[in-house]
Amino acid sequence: MLRERRRASEAMTAVAKGMSDADLRAFFDPIGKLPAPPANAASATWPARIAQGAALAGRFRCGSCRGGAFSGGQQVPRLAAQREDYLARALVEFRAGTRIGYTSAITEALGGIAPDDLGVLAGYLAEFSSKAP
């Protein structure tokens, strides 16, 4: 998508434009295998926010494409333990239709989520653990 200029990132488009599929895999696979960032310190609102995020993820069936642990696979990227700011921005862009996926499924799913809830969902996914309440 970067190579074809379907994603808006001039720096990454410049890197990807001359790469073959094999080159792209060799370049990006190690990035995808980096460890998750450390969890944020829990605040007093953490349990309620996590519960609200879990409810949103269940209601909008985020796990149906991403897997029960939101770990993705094949052409579906991992959501669990991504940076919250990255997830929030991506969710807003997908909802607005300015970020393109392989299908329109995520844009359609996010259309039913209130804009204020996108940050809550991003926070939940960023902090997601299979042990989360």
Give me the pLDDT at residue 43, please. Answer: 61
Domain CATH code at residue 98: 1.10.760.10
Containing structural domain, residue 10: 1-34
User: Number of structural domains, the chain?
Assistant: 2
- Closest-CA residue to 67 (of 80, 52, 56): 80
| Domain membership flag for residue 133 | no
| Domain membership flag for residue 132 | no
Give me the pLDDT at residue 45, please. Answer: 64
Give me the pLDDT at residue 131, please. Answer: 45
Same domain as 18, residue 49: no
Whether the full predicted model's pTM is greater than 0.85, yes or no, is no
| Domain membership flag for residue 25 | yes
Same domain as 105, residue 50: yes
Residue pLDDT tens, the chain, 133 long? 777 767 767 787 788 888 888 988 888 788 777 776 665 555 656 788 889 999 998 888 887 777 678 877 777 778 888 888 889 999 999 888 888 776 777 888 888 889 889 999 999 998 886 544 4
| Domain membership flag for residue 75 | yes
Distance from C-alpha of 105 to C-alpha of 113, rounded to nearest angstrom? 14
